[in-house]
């Protein structure tokens, strides 16, 4: 499982011209699922996201987590995180989880996240989404449950 985590002062997702979800200060998380992912991958990524100390403390040091600052989290599914463009110019998505399985996995990810941290909003799986954000910092962190980076 992969995630792109961005510290934001605000973020929203629009679907068919309507705002489906929006947050203020917090994290925008783009999540992609590998064909071999399991519940352990969900658990690892959720714990890593919630533990990231990327918010500033009183001294201006990145020393606080999203829960420390009571920030919100916006979760968006993004299969293109498993796009492989090493050969040619057209990415291959062969390692991305298949649609039906990925939809269930995404829902499990959201539910698992909500159990640990209730201030969660989400996009709609498989929808054509327009995601807007104001990246605060900017701060962007890449996570991979297989620890390839």
Give the span between the Cα atoms of 97 and 103, in whole angstroms: 9
Choice among 80, 98, 99, 140 that is catalytic: 80
Give the span between the Cα atoms of 95 and 34, in whole angstroms: 6
HSE-up of 5 (CA within 13 Å, CB side)? 24
Give the span between the Cα atoms of 103 and 77, in whole angstroms: 9
Give the span between the Cα atoms of 31 and 50, in whole angstroms: 14
Is 19 tagged catalytic? no
Is 140 tagged catalytic? no
Question: Is the link from the previous residue into 9 a cis peptide, with omega within 30 of 0?
Answer: no
Choice among 6, 33, 55, 79 that is catalytic: 79
Choice among 6, 33, 55, 78 that is catalytic: 78
Is 98 tagged catalytic? no
The catalytic residue positions are 78-80
């Amino acid at each position: 499982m992969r995630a792109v985590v961005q510290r934001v002062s605000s973020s929203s997702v629009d679907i068919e011209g309507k705002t489906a979800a929006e947050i203020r200060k917090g994290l925008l998380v783009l999540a992609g699922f590998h064909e071999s992912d399991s519940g352990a991958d969900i658990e690892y990524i959720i714990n890593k996201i919630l533990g990231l100390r990327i918010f500033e403390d009183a001294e201006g040091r990145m020393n606080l987590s999203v829960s420390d600052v009571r920030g919100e989290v916006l979760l968006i599914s993004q299969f293109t995180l498993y796009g492989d463009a090493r050969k040619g110019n057209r990415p291959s998505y062969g390692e991305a989880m298949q649609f039906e399985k990925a939809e269930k996995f995404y829902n499990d990810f959201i539910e698992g996240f909500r159990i640990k941290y209730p201030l969660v909003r989400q996009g709609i799986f498989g929808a054509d989404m327009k995601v807007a954000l104001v990246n605060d910092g900017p701060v962007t962190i890449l996570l991979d449950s297989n620890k390839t980076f």
